[in-house]
C-alpha cells in the first residue's frame, strides 16, 4: 500500500522531489543532445545539397552553346 501525499514525511517528499528533479534534468539533457544531433544531420543535408548544386552549376556552365542548359529557363504562364 502506498502512502498518499498527505501521509508522507517531509523526508519522503524531499526524496520524491529530488528524484523528479533528477529525471527532469536527464530529460532536458537528452533533449539538448537530440537537438544537437538534429542540427548536425541538417547541416550534412545542406552541405550535400550545396555540393549537388555546385556540380550541376558546373555541368550547366560547361554545356554546349544553344542547349537548354545555356538558355535561361522559360517561365510558364497560367492558362
Q: What are the pLDDT digits (tens) for 25-73?
A: 999 999 999 999 999 999 999 999 999 999 999 999 999 988 988 887 7
C-alpha–C-alpha distance, residues 24 and 1, integer Å: 26
Residue 3: pLDDT band with limits 50, 70, 90: low
The answer, as to whether pTM is greater than 0.75, is no
Q: Does pLDDT of 16 surpass 60?
A: yes
Where do runs of H (alpha helix) occur along the chain?
10-61
- What is the reported pLDDT for 2? 61
DSSP state of 5: G
Q: Does pLDDT of 76 surpass 60?
A: yes
Provide the grid cell at 22.
Answer: 533528477
Amino acid at each position: 500500500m502506498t502512502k498518499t501525499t498527505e501521509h508522507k514525511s517531509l523526508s519522503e517528499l524531499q526524496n520524491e522531489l529530488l528524484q523528479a528533479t533528477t529525471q527532469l534534468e536527464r530529460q532536458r539533457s537528452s533533449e539538448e543532445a537530440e537537438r544537437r544531433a538534429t542540427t548536425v544531420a541538417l547541416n550534412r543535408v545542406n552541405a550535400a545539397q550545396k555540393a549537388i548544386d555546385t556540380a550541376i552549376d558546373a555541368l550547366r556552365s560547361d554545356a554546349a552553346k544553344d542547349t537548354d542548359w545555356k538558355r535561361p529557363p522559360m517561365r510558364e504562364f497560367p492558362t
